[in-house]
Structure 1
């Protein structure tokens, strides 16, 4: 990408019956957003026209047939399909999943080909999008396959970053899935992301316990003693700043999280409940560990308010800014690491 060019920001439109289109269009209804990037929405003119009219949004867009035809200073809509799918706000339909997948596949293909620089995904319905080509519990696993990386679901704000050892895994299956190998892999991914994507030279990472009170020395489960503690000691001995396991019930309420650059939670709700409580509407779901940048808002399809013009686009807007900043941070990191004299510019840890 030439320095004078704006970052090409691809957007997969998500479930057409949810709030995805609404939060996307509301974000770019503010023309100042076009100063930061060139947005390319993977959908169709007919869908965007219908959505903007139904929602009463005052926007103009540039319909294109190829990504290369996208114009700076415009909201670009790449016509992935020509037909006009039926949009029934608030309903989980097979057709809603079908077109969400068409948009996602086209956007990821463009990302892989470097036709776009970053990807921001609007919310999908994890049930109706399932096909033989998409047999995944969500975006994260699909992107890990397509982009061949060790992915990490990483929920981020400026002041709080929470990664997950296990993400869309049933609670009953989570303890067995947490192995020494998995913990080391996720720690490596989160460390690399903090350095490369967020400019933190020596990150401090906290690991939350698997069981209540981190097992109370084996009284409430042995996984913390047998899996987490040995790995933490091994990593500490090797010079990594990894601490824990901490009892999850008091970790956030006591503000202990403020002493760390990131927290690694054992399972989905252990990490996302406190994250969303502290930062809902400002948080971003970032897929760390991939060779490309992908973010999304911290909410779902919100069928209950779809089509009513009530959706808050704050999180989607944050997802856009986060994707752009990470892309810039990665470029700077590559420059710094290729020039040893500039390495000291990386931010020190707290």
Structure 2
């Protein structure tokens, strides 16, 4: 049975306590219409959110709870993951703030695994101050890849612009060594499947960007495009996947060529995210595709320079909530269609 909109439970991790996480979360749900779309549950502490309320003229009424089954639809629920007194220092990178950001994220992820929440939206963290003996991951995506089933892939989304990555948080001088036939095939297949089940695109068209300048110029400027990317693309195309490339990356976005495709796969982080953020910054969403659960986040970081000033733009976070809900519905519809038996008509015209 498909859930009613207001019954979709959106779990939210607070992000870096000294960043803009609390502010953009509260600003998103200041609009009462958002509470008609879903029921938010913020994994943090009511005192942290009350502190965030002071940074702007917030009218939010917070409903503090200690257990997930105490959620009230139509309210901004705050699940108290901790009761400790924390000194907040807006705008500062602090090890303690990173520790509690991870407490929030780990608790929210566990709730997602347990089906206590339907989707997860994560506020920005600082990848440096979250590191500890208990948490040694470059960021959200890598931890989710360990905890959830599937093959995680970073997919940046803004309306019909979707940019995925073959490699994400990998140093540039190591990118080429990570590109293998198996990896490229897996990423293309992950993108294809997510476009079908999460974005309701029946026959998605996918473009792959070359690793080297001019996509290697036939092997003159690096051989990875000719020897790794091109053979995989050809094989998958011949098997029925509408994948094309590799394309020279420099003019692909500026020429508007990306508009001809349902998704673009970049070879490495900045090759994909620089054009994406140039075109969509402040409205884009980071979606972790390929997993059995749904997680989205805004397309920006902790924004220490404006933290605590009440001037943060919450639109990207709001879009992350919208996208998570949309994908939840798309997956439900896809699962429903997949369960229905194919109806075959005989010459009489009667359905079997």
SS class of match (1:249): coil
Deviation at 1:340, TM superposition (A): 4.3
Tell whether the 8 Å contact from 1:224 to 1:245 is kept in structure 2 after alignment: yes
1:55 aligned counterpart, secondary structure: coil
Cα distance per residue 1:18-64 (max 9 Å; x no partner): 01111101000111110000000000111111111233312111000
**Which consecutive unaligned segments of at least 5 residues does structure 1 have?**
343-350
For 2:247, the equivalent position in structure 1 comes to 246
What TM-score does the superposition give when structure 1 sets the normalisation length?
0.96
2:227 aligned with 1:217, yes or no?
no
Alignment of 1:308-347 (within 5 A): 308-341=309-342
Q: Is the 8 A contact 1:27 1:316 kept in 2?
A: yes
Contact kept? 1:47, 1:84, Cα under 8 Å: no
Partner of 1:165: 166
Give the structure 1 partner of residue 349 of structure 2: none
Stretches (4+) displaced over 6 A: none
Secondary structure at 2:208 match in 1 = strand
- Could you tell me whether the CA contact under 8 Å between 2:158 and 2:280 is conserved in 1? yes
**Contact 2:123 2:298 (8 Å CA) reproduced:** yes
Counterpart secondary structure, 1:236:
helix
Q: Which residue does the alignment assign to 1:284?
A: 285
What is the CA–CA distance in structure 1 between the aligned matches of 2:181 and 2:133, rounded to whole Å? 32
Could you say if the C-alpha distance between residues 256 and 234 of structure 1 is closer, same or farther in structure 2, counting changes exceeding 3 Å? same
| Partner Cα distance (2:7, 2:59) in 1 | 24
Decide whether the 8 Å contact of 1:12 with 1:103 is kept in 2. yes
Q: Partners in 2 of 1:111 and 1:56 — Cα distance?
A: 32
Q: Is the 8 A contact 1:41 1:76 kept in 2?
A: yes
Distance 2:217 2:295 in 1: 38
**Cα distance in 2 for residues equivalent to 1:6 and 1:116:** 10
Q: Aligned residue for 2:180?
A: 179
Could you tell me which residue of structure 2 aligns to residue 199 of structure 1? Answer: 200
After superposition, the C-alpha distances for 1:140-171 in whole angstroms (9 at most, x for unaligned) are 11101011320000001211000000001101
2:124 maps to which residue?
123
Aligned to 2:60: 59
Answer yes or no: is the 8 Å Cα contact 1:11–1:119 preserved in 2: yes
Q: Secondary structure at the match of 1:21?
A: helix
Provide the rounded CA distance (Å) in 2 between the counterparts of 1:201 and 1:269: 29
Q: Which residue pairs with 1:26 in the alignment?
A: 27
Matched, 1:110 2:111: yes
Matched, 1:3 2:9: no
1:275 pairs with 2:279: no
Unaligned segments of structure 2, at least 5 residues: 344-352
Q: Distance in 2 between matches of 1:2 and 1:198?
A: 17
Deviation track 1:244-302 (CA, whole Å, cap 9, x = no partner) reads: 00000000011110110000000000000111111111110000011100000000001
1:234 counterpart = 2:216: no
> What corresponds to 1:347 in structure 2?
none
Structure with the greater alpha carbon radius of gyration: 2
Q: Secondary structure at the match of 1:332?
A: helix
User: For the Cα contact (< 8 Å) 2:2–2:332, is it kept in 1?
Assistant: no
**Cα offset for 1:2?**
6.3
Aligned-residue offset at 1:133: 2.5
The root-mean-square deviation of aligned C-alpha atoms, in Å, is 1.2
Find the aligned partners of 1:277 and 1:316 in 2 and give their Cα distance.
Answer: 18
CA contact (8 A) 2:12 2:123 kept: yes
Q: Tell me, what secondary structure is at the counterpart of 2:264? A: strand
1:77 equivalent in structure 2: 78
The residue aligned with 1:348 is none
Asked if 1 retains the 8 angstrom alpha-carbon contact of 2:150 and 2:292, the reply is yes
